[in-house]
Structure 1
Amino acid sequence: MNLFRLAGDMTHLLSIVVLLLKIHTIKNCAGISLKTQELYALVFVARYLDLFTDFVSLYNFVMKIIFLSTSMTIVWYMRRHKLVRRTYDKEQDTFRHYFLVLPCLLLALVIHKKFTFLEVAWTFSIYLEAVAIFPQLVLLQRTRNIDNLTGNYVFLLGAYRALYIVNWAYRYMTEKHYVQWIPWISGAVQTALYADFFYYYIHSWKNNVKLHLPA
């Protein structure tokens, strides 16, 4: 594992810590899209179906457990915890996220590396992760004023994917025959979705003002 991959994993983990800090400690999920969190839970379930069949390393195993358990915990908090549920922006978080699932599944059935159940499920998770942030970005666009923890959470998610792209570029230059078109293209699409948010996040940070997205 290279430094860029490790930095990407730690940034991803930090984004979840920031979100759990907001939800568990403050008992507030305002500005957080339940639709996006449900999509991420589905992403991790589909991706880690091999959890108990293919052991890569202790690090890999532990990270899979963490991402699975935390994604389901976040969904549980937003759906079932009385105090947290009250702060959920249900009226604003109306993006029909299930419209993203079927196209990603169909695409995985058509474009994959190998036609096996686990491989198609893994490919589906890659496609779905690329667009899972979309309901969250739509919610932020509607609410416009964004608190610091929510802004930091979304920024860290985008930074994680950007670091993975650097990781792929590094591996392409240092490893023979390393080609992964499906993650590369999906990752590029996912990072592009964050471009507008990155611009306003950095602008607010540089000018020390509250993050605000234009209508």
Structure 2
Amino acid sequence: MNLFRLAGDMTHLASVLVLLLKIHTIKSCAGISLKTQELYVIVFASRYLDIFTDFISLYNTLMKLIFLGSSFSIVWYIRSHSVVRRSYDKSQDTFRHYFLLLPCLLLALLIHEKFTFKEVMWTFSLYLEAVAILPQLVLLQRTRNIDNLTGQYVFLLGAYRGLYILNWIYRYFTEPHYVHWIPWISGIVQTLLYADFFYYYFDSWKNNKRLQLPA
């Protein structure tokens, strides 16, 4: 494992910890899209079907369990915890996220590396992850004023994908025959979706002001 992938994994883990900190400590999910969190549950559940059949390493298994457990936990808290649930702004989080599922599944059935159930579901998870952040970005644009923890969460999610692109570039030049177009293109699309958010995030940081997206 190279430094870029490790940094990407740790950044992804940090994003989850920031969100859990917000939910558990402040008892609030204000500014957090339940729709995006539900999509991440589907992403991880479809990607890690091999968790009990194919052992790669202890690190790999632990990370899979962490992301599966945390994603289900976050959705449960937003939907079922009496205090956290009251802070969820359902009227603003109206992106029709289920409309993303069928196109991603059809694309996975058409474009994949190998036509097996686990491979198609893994490919589906890549396509879905590329667009899973859309409900969250739309919600932030509607609410405009973004609290610090929510901004940090979204920034870390975007940074994780950016670091993974650096990991792919590194492996392309250091490993023979390392070519995987599906995760590459999906990752680039996902990173581009963060471009507008990154611009305003760094602008707010540079000018020491509250993060605010344009309407």
TM-score with structure 2 length normalisation?
Answer: 1.00
How far 1:185 sits from its partner (Å)?
A: 0.2
How far 1:44 sits from its partner (Å)?
A: 0.2
Give the aligned partner of residue 74 of structure 1. Answer: 74
The 5 Å alignment of 1:58-207 reads 58-207=58-207
Give the aligned partner of residue 18 of structure 2. Answer: 18
1:212 aligned counterpart, secondary structure: coil
**What is the CA–CA distance in structure 2 between the aligned matches of 1:202 and 1:152, rounded to whole Å?**
11
**What is the CA–CA distance in structure 2 between the aligned matches of 1:214 and 1:65, rounded to whole Å?**
37
How far 1:2 sits from its partner (Å)?
A: 0.2
How far 1:157 sits from its partner (Å)?
A: 0.1
* CA deviations over 1:139-175 (Å, ceiling 9, x no partner): 0000000000000000000000000000000000000
C-alpha RMSD of the superposition = 0.3
How far 1:180 sits from its partner (Å)?
A: 0.5
2:109 aligned counterpart, secondary structure: helix
Percent identity over paired residues: 80
How far 1:63 sits from its partner (Å)?
A: 0.2
**What is the CA–CA distance in structure 2 between the aligned matches of 1:123 and 1:61, rounded to whole Å?**
19
How many residues matched? 215
Which consecutive unaligned segments of at least 5 residues does structure 1 have?
none
Q: Which amino acid aligns with 1:195?
A: A
Q: Which amino acid aligns with 2:84?
A: V
Which consecutive unaligned segments of at least 5 residues does structure 2 have?
none
How far 1:30 sits from its partner (Å)?
A: 0.3
TM-score with structure 1 length normalisation?
Answer: 1.00
How far 1:65 sits from its partner (Å)?
A: 0.2
After TM superposition, what 4+ stretches of structure 1 lie above 6 angstroms from structure 2?
none
Give the aligned partner of residue 44 of structure 2. Answer: 44
